[in-house]
Structure 1
Amino acid sequence: MTLVTQKTSTAVRVVLANYSDHRQAEDIITLMEEYSRHPFGGGGPLPEKCRNELVPKLAEFPGAFSILAYNDDGVLGLVNCFTGFSTFACMPLVNIHDVIVSERARGQGVCAAMMDFVALEAKKRGCCKLTMEVLEKNLAAKNAYRRVGFKPYTLDEEFGLAEFWQRYL
């Protein structure tokens, strides 16, 4: 499936990544490297282990899929997704793990095009919702996500917003 959108003077083509395609694999690493070097991605280079193993590991991980956005000048964006499960809906869901729009393509509708594609792919997979985490101070990303229908997660506003926590192993 390919989605083509024309929100600017240059058409954006969004595709489901083929992890076996050498060019697409390189594009995934290129964008992950750009994201890793940004302060919101950690501010340093992508670890060599990830450069070498990320795409093969994604390919073998059940429920993983990636979305790539292109225009005539090359790759513009990447979304890495993982299928999970909603116990309250008793249906699968898609967790959006990484959203990367190359700095040169920001403000051109790339994020919206990729999120629309993710939603279509999730519906094809029988999913009930999309989930994601976003850094509190990443205001540009939060605004972009709100524009495509995301909002902070809460079951009952009396109990507040859900928080995303982690524990390293």
Structure 2
Amino acid sequence: MTDTLRLRRADYSNPAHAQALVDLLDSYARDPSGGAEPLSDFTKANLPAALQARPNVFSVLAFDDAQGGQPVGLINCVEGFSTFACRPLVNIHDVVVAASHRGQGIGEQMLGLVEQIARERGACKLTLEVLSGNAPASRLYHRIGFDNYQLEPSMGNALFMQKWL
């Protein structure tokens, strides 16, 4: 598979990249690990342009050239800022590998490109969240060096929380 995998930083103005991004993200959203709900029509119509308008966002796409260039992977990233390090950080916001291509190392290869881009941006770290029930993703992240976030071990691990507005 790795011989036929082509990784690219997404060009949001490229119609093929924009469609791949929306299709892959929609497939992830429909999966139980993504909430089991499709993307809204609004999101499908506006997401590539909205991402392009934000210089602190980048995406990585994977295409399988053995399958005619079929899009098979996506990672969306958002640059944040570490006040403790006084440097940027990159949050890996979405990691998607097509169900037909899971277990082939695509996620790891895409994460390698994300790390390269983050280093080029001067980032001090990568962050991500993973659902506790997503054991395959957790194993991958731990294998390539991610660990649960903590500052002082006696205070425990950080919890990821949200409040909808």
Shorter chain as denominator, the TM-score bin is: over 0.9
Question: Are residues 80 and 9 of structure 1, via their aligned partners in 2, closer, same or farther at CA, if it must alter by over 3 Å?
Answer: closer
Q: How many residues align?
A: 162
AA aligned opposite 1:97 = H
- Work out the CA distance in 2 between the residues paired with 1:144 and 1:54: 28
Secondary structure at 2:75's aligned position in 1? strand
Match of 1:50 in 2: 43
Structure 1 runs of 4+ with >6 Å offset: none
- Which whole-Å deviations, capped at 9, do the CAs of 1:82-107 have from their partners, x for residues lacking one? 11000010000101100001101101
- Does the C-alpha gap of structure 1 residues 159 and 11 become closer, same or farther in structure 2, counting only changes over 3 Å? same
Q: Is 1:95 equivalent to 2:88 in the alignment?
A: no
Q: Is the contact between residue 81 and residue 96 of structure 1 (CA under 8 Å) also seen in structure 2?
A: yes
Structure 2 gaps of 5+ residues are none
User: 1:10, 1:71 within 8 Å by CA — same for their partners in 2?
Assistant: no
Residues 139, 130 of structure 1: alpha-carbon distance in 2 compared, 3 angstrom cutoff = same
| 1:62 Cα offset (Å) | 2.8
User: CA separation in 2, counterparts of 1:106 and 1:86?
Assistant: 32
Per-residue CA deviation, residues 1-38 of structure 1 (Å, 9 max, x unaligned), is xxxxxxx4643221110001000000001101110110
Work out whether residues 77 and 102 of structure 1, in 8 Å CA contact, stay in contact via their aligned partners in 2: yes
**1:130 corresponds to which residue?**
126
| 1:31 and 2:24 matched | yes
State the match for 1:106 in structure 2. 102
RMSD (CA atoms): 1.0
* % identical aligned pairs: 43
Closer/same/farther in 2, CA of residues 75 and 87 from structure 1, 3 Å limit: same
User: TM-score when scaled to structure 2?
Assistant: 0.95
Q: Provide the TM-score with structure 1 as the length reference.
A: 0.93
Structure 1 gap ranges (5+): 1-7
- SS of the residue 1:43 aligns to: coil
Task: Give the deviation of 1:140 after TM superposition.
Answer: 1.1
SS at match of 2:92: strand
C-alpha distance after superposition, 1:67-87 (max 9, x if no partner): 001121111100000110000
Work out which of the residue numbers 117, 123, 138 in structure 2 matches 1:142: 138
Are 1:164 and 2:157 counterparts?
Answer: no
Preserved contact between residue 15 and residue 67 of structure 1 (Cα < 8 Å): yes
Shift of 1:161: 0.5
